[in-house]
Amino acid sequence: MVIKVLGSGCANCKKLEENTRKAVEALGIDATIEKVTDFKDIMAYGVMKTPALVVDGKVKIMGRVPSPDEIKKYL
């Protein structure tokens, strides 16, 4: 599973990455978590608001920071 956190590196982006890591750890799944900060790469996903969470190439959440429990639903 490939999980991408899209964002500029702001506080919300860092919080989304932290919550994503907690969710992956809690589920005990094998996943790669990547940070995407390049604006062109973010736009390629059609994301207009960051932070955003992409799981296996599909945008699951954008424009907010979900809790680790909510992220588990998308994994």
Which residues are known to be catalytic? 10, 13
Residue in the structure block whose two tokens are 């999980």: 3
